[in-house]
Structure 1
Amino acid sequence: MIAQQYQLYIERRDPDRNMARFYALSIEETLFGQARLIRRWGRIGTIGRTVQHSFDDEGEAVGLFLELLRAKRLRGYQPRRVSRSVPNSVTAVPRS
């Protein structure tokens, strides 16, 4: 049984290079009680690719999770920026 939820979603954007990528990690429990690390990555807006790693020990899955996180942070991946939606306060002005 997994003691804690592990989920991560990070992005790397560089408009000058037309780059918009995502990387997602999660650790889940399989039906057989093993820990499974699921990695998804690709261009933002696509399904991307998925790879799954199974471990007998949750600690091994967490170790790989943290190792992958460190590597991606060094390459410039950051948590997704939440943009605040500002209500449109523009009103129609009658022409004279």
Structure 2
Amino acid sequence: MEQIPLFPIEARLTRIDAARNAWRFYEMSVQRDLFCGAILMRRWGRIGTAGSLRLDLYANEGAAANALGTLLRIRLRRGYRWAGAVT
């Protein structure tokens, strides 16, 4: 099992399964918005493409970081591995 940083604000994950032709990435980051809130930006898709983008609004950076941590644990259970992260 991989160790998750205590307070992650950014994560880059990949899942590569050549036998199933699955070359996936998943990126998440917490950004401040203009109204004293926070945005959890998520981008996912096939490696080499722009992928899909989703923005989730939160009241503060702590709530967004908690959501990022939850999603990070879910993705690691589904077979994604760290491609790099900044804490």
Secondary structure in 2 matching 1:80: strand
- Which protein is richer in strand relative to its size? 2
Q: TM-score with structure 2 length normalisation?
A: 0.83
Residue ranges of structure 1 left out of the alignment (5+ in a row): 82-96
User: Relative CO higher for 1 or 2, CA cutoff 8 Å, sep ≥ 6?
Assistant: 2
Runs of 4+ in 1 over 2 A off after TM superposition: none
Find the partner of 1:61 among 47, 59, 64. 64
Q: TM-score with structure 1 length normalisation?
A: 0.75
When Rg is computed on C-alpha atoms for both structures, the one with the higher figure is: 1
Give yes or no for the alignment of 1:72 onto 2:75: yes
Give yes or no for the alignment of 1:6 onto 2:29: no
How far 1:31 sits from its partner (Å)? 1.4
Q: What is the identity percentage for the equivalent residue pairs of Structure 1 and Structure 2?
A: 38
Residue ranges of structure 2 left out of the alignment (5+ in a row): 1-6
